[in-house]
Amino acid sequence: KAGVTQTPRYLIKTRGQQVTLSCSPISGHRSVSWYQQTPGQGLQFLFEYFSETQRNKGNFPGRFSGRQFSNSRSEMNVSTLELGDSALYLCASSFLPSADTQYFGPGTRLTVL
Partner 1 sequence: GENVEQHPSTLSVQEGDSAVIKCTYSDSASNYFPWYKQELGKRPQLIIDIRSNVGEKKDQRIAVTLNKTAKHFSLHITETQPEDSAVYFCAARGSSNTGKLIFGQGTTLQVKP
- List residues binding partner 1 (CB under 8 A): 31, 33, 35, 42-45, 48, 50, 55-56, 58, 90, 92, 94, 97-107
Per DSSP (E only), the strands in 8-50 are: 10-13, 19-24, 31-38, 42-50
CB of 46 to partner 1, least distance (A): 10
CB of 16 to partner 1, least distance (A): 29
DSSP 26: P
Distance, CA of 65 to CA of 57 (rounded, Å): 9
| Closer of 64 and 81 to partner 1 (Cβ) | 64
| Closer of 75 and 103 to partner 1 (Cβ) | 103
Of 34, 43, 90, 42, which Cα lies nearest the Cα of 67? Answer: 34
| Closer of 19 and 89 to partner 1 (Cβ) | 89
CB of 60 to partner 1, least distance (A): 13
